[in-house]
Structure 1
Amino acid sequence: MLKEISIGLSLAAVIYLLIAGYDITPLLFLAAAGGGLYYFARMRGLINVKNFENTGNTGRQEVTFSDIGGQDSAIQELKEALDFIKNHFSIRKLGIRPLKGILLTGPPGTGKTLMARAAAGYTDAAFVAASGSEFIEMYAGVGAQRVRRLFQSARESASRQNKSNALIFIDEIEILGGKRGQTTSHLEYDQTLNQLLVEMDGLKVDDKVRVLLIAATNRADMLDPALLRPGRFDRRVKVDLPDKEGRIEILKLHTRNKPLAEDVKLETIARESFGFSGAHLESLANEAAILAMREGCKEICQRHFNESIDKVMLGGRLDRRPSEADMRRVAVHETGHALLSEIVRSGSVSTLTVTPRGDALGYMRQTPEDDTYLYTKDYLENQISVMLAGSVAEEIILGNRSTGSSGDFEQALRAAETMVRSGMSRLGVVCPDTLPQDLKHQTITEIVKVQE
Structure 2
Amino acid sequence: MRKYVPEILIGAIPVVLAFLLFLGQNVVPVLMFAVLGFVVFYASRGRGKLTALSSQQRRPSKKENPFTFEQIGGQEKAKQELVEALDFLVRQEQIAKLGIRPLKGILLAGPPGTGKTLLAKAAAHYTDSIYLAASGSEFVEMYVGVGAGRIRDLFKEARSKAQKEKKSSAVIFIDEIEVIGGKRDGGQQREYDQTLNQLLTEMDGIYANEAPRILLIAATNRKEMLDSALLRPGRFDRHIQVDLPDKKGRLHILNIHASNKPIADTVDLERIAAESFGFSGAQLESVMNEAAIYALREEHEKIDEKHLSMAIDKVMMGEKTDREASKEERERVALHELGHAIMAEIIRPGSVSQVALSPRGKALGYVRHNPLQDQYLYTKAFLNGQIMIALGGAAAEEMFYGERSTGSRGDFDQAMDIVKTLVESGLTELGIIDASMMTKEAWASITRTILDELMGQTKETLEAKREVFTLSLQTLIREETLSGEEFRQLLKENAAA
The question of a shared fold, defined as TM-score above 0.5 by the shorter chain, is answered with yes
> Aligned ranges for residues 5-404 of structure 1 at < 5 Å?
5-6=4-5, 25=19, 34=34, 37-38=37-38, 42-43=47-48, 45-46=50-51, 48-50=53-55, 58-181=62-185, 184=188, 186-404=189-407
Contact 2:391 2:455 in 1 (8 A): no
Structure 2: gaps (5+ residues): 22-26, 459-497
Name the residue aligned to 2:464. Answer: none
Q: CA, structure 1 residues 131+200, in 2 after alignment: closer, same or farther (shift >3 Å)? A: same
Q: What per-residue deviation string (whole Å, max 9, x for no partner) do you get for residues 127-151 of structure 1?
A: 1111111111111111111111110
Q: CA, structure 1 residues 2+370, in 2 after alignment: closer, same or farther (shift >3 Å)? A: farther
Cα distance in 2 between the residues matched to 1:25 and 1:180: 55
- Most deviating of 42-51 and 128-137: 42-51
Cα distance in 2 between the residues matched to 1:402 and 1:224: 45
Contact 2:53 2:150 in 1 (8 A): yes
Structure 1: gaps (5+ residues): none
Cα distance in 2 between the residues matched to 1:47 and 1:131: 14
1:395 CA displacement: 3.2
Q: CA, structure 1 residues 137+7, in 2 after alignment: closer, same or farther (shift >3 Å)? A: closer
1:351 CA displacement: 2.1
Name the residue aligned to 2:446. Answer: 440
User: How many residues in Structure 1 have an aligned counterpart in Structure 2?
Assistant: 443
Q: What per-residue deviation string (whole Å, max 9, x for no partner) do you get for residues 86-120 of structure 1?
A: 11122222221111000000001100001001000
Q: CA, structure 1 residues 416+144, in 2 after alignment: closer, same or farther (shift >3 Å)? A: closer
Contact 2:55 2:157 in 1 (8 A): no
Contact 1:201 1:232 in 2 (8 A): yes
- Most deviating of 395-404 and 382-391: 395-404
Contact 1:64 1:121 in 2 (8 A): yes
- Most deviating of 195-204 and 340-349: 340-349
Contact 2:419 2:447 in 1 (8 A): no
Give TM-score, length-normalised by structure 2: 0.82
CA RMSD of aligned residues (A): 2.8
Contact 1:260 1:300 in 2 (8 A): yes
Letter in 2 for 1:97: R
Give TM-score, length-normalised by structure 1: 0.90
What percent of counterpart residues are identical?
A: 52
Q: CA, structure 1 residues 441+334, in 2 after alignment: closer, same or farther (shift >3 Å)? A: closer
Cα distance in 2 between the residues matched to 1:352 and 1:232: 52
Contact 1:381 1:451 in 2 (8 A): no
Cα distance in 2 between the residues matched to 1:172 and 1:23: 48
Cα distance in 2 between the residues matched to 1:7 and 1:401: 71
Q: What per-residue deviation string (whole Å, max 9, x for no partner) do you get for residues 238-266 of structure 1?
A: 11100000000000111110101122111
Cα distance in 1 between the residues matched to 2:51 and 2:59: 23
Cα distance in 1 between the residues matched to 2:404 and 2:8: 82
Letter in 2 for 1:218: N
Cα distance in 2 between the residues matched to 1:252 and 1:2: 55
Q: CA, structure 1 residues 441+392, in 2 after alignment: closer, same or farther (shift >3 Å)? A: closer
